[in-house]
Amino acid sequence: MEHFLEGKVDWDVNSLGITDEELQKKAVPRAFSPSASKASAACMARFALDRFVPRPFDPLSPADIGTIAHSIFEELFNEKSVNRTRKRGNELFKHVTQDALKNDELHKYFTENPDDQTLWRSLIIKACSGLFTIFNPSEVEVIGTEEKLYNVQLGGVDMIGYIDLLLEEDESLVIWDYKTGKYMPEASRFGDCEHDTQQRLYFAALICQGRNVSGANLAYTSEGKARKVNTDETKVADDVKHFAENYATLLQCQKQNSYPNKTGVLCGWCPYVKACPAAQMSVNVKYSRHALDESGDATGKAYNVDELF
């Protein structure tokens, strides 16, 4: 990481500067997503680096596991309602994972790390296992899966995003978003949950498109839990305002070529922790994805690696 950044950035305890002109142009996206808004607010320096630093290949990362799980859900909900069964879900798990293994990089990884393939399958199953506890897929009216939001502005900012699942209920649209990680309540001592903010922005985008949308929900598929998102008009307006402010701040950072560091309790999980001057002064933590029980996850629960549901 340090070798890649050499000669490309000027980084001190306060902020990051990008010395490579072409990379500096990449630091700000033309269209802003809810996840980008959240990431930029968390740490501008990391956000800028994530725009151009190659991400290490890690099929066991939560993001990569979530991507596989989302593919399984997408294929399941694209089936006719009568076919959205547990049996079909298990068939799609095998199909999607087998298809993923055709990827040369993934094949090479598991050839070099054969024990990780069982763990990989276990983590995917854990991520998907609670879907049928949340609802019966064969009983819902599907309007769209992985629906792309584009050509819409929120607070004067071009927004982009994908709605995992769009259902029709009582002649109106309802947003569903899959979360394959730990269940998060609506609010905590840190403020409103970032998951809710994302869905309120999607809610606002659909309204801007003139569509009749009545609500949004979060499906925590690894835990079989779901909850409604508060789409009160004031809450939605506040999130749109902060979304626009975050983009304006990012543009100002690009103009000044100065992306502030923000340290906190999660610095040890940042891929740039060893290179960040501010983090080195505040933390001495190294995160390892291998801090898992060999039986499948951090709880020590073992999972059948052949059956999804």
Q: How would DSSP label each residue in 195-234?
A: HHHHHHHHHHHHHHTT--EEEEEEEETTTTEEEE----HH
Q: What is the pLDDT of residue 15?
A: 96
168 Cβ contact partners less than 8 Å away, ≥ 6 residues apart = 141, 143, 174
Distance CA 1, CA 270 (A): 12
**CB 76, CB 29: distance < 8 Å:** no
Question: How is residue 228 written in tokens?
Answer: 């409604």
Q: What is the pLDDT of residue 245?
A: 98
Question: How is residue 253 written in tokens?
Answer: 């950072």
**CB 259, CB 48: distance < 8 Å:** yes
Q: What is the pLDDT of residue 185?
A: 84
Query: What is the largest distance, in Å, between two alpha-carbon atoms of the chain?
Result: 59
Q: Structurally, how many domains does the chain consist of?
A: 1
What Cα–Cα distance (Å) separates residue 112 from each residue in 53, 105, 186, 287, 289?
Answer: 24, 11, 42, 22, 17
Q: What is the pLDDT of residue 151?
A: 86
Give Cα 261 to chain centroid, integer Å: 22
- The letter for the amino acid at 209 is Q
Residue span of the structural domain in which 67 resides = 1-309
**CB 173, CB 214: distance < 8 Å:** yes
- How do the pLDDT tens digits run along the chain, 309 residues long? 557 788 899 999 999 999 999 999 999 999 999 999 999 999 999 999 999 999 889 999 999 999 999 999 999 999 999 999 999 999 999 999 999 999 999 999 999 999 999 999 999 999 999 999 999 999 999 999 999 998 899 999 999 999 999 999 999 999 999 999 999 887 655 556 789 999 999 999 999 999 999 999 999 999 999 999 999 999 999 999 999 999 999 999 999 999 999 988 888 888 898 889 998 887 544 444 433 333 344 444 444 556 666
pTM greater than 0.85 (yes/no): yes
Q: What is the pLDDT of residue 53?
A: 93
**CB 75, CB 83: distance < 8 Å:** no
Residue 146, φ and ψ in degrees, nearest 5: 45, 50
Distance CA 20, CA 147 (A): 36
Q: What is the pLDDT of residue 305?
A: 57
Distance CA 185, CA 236 (A): 18
Question: How is residue 259 written in tokens?
Answer: 């992306």
**CB 251, CB 24: distance < 8 Å:** no
Domain containing 52 — which CATH number? 3.90.320
What Cα–Cα distance (Å) separates residue 21 from each residue in 8, 9, 18, 247, 255?
Answer: 9, 10, 7, 20, 12
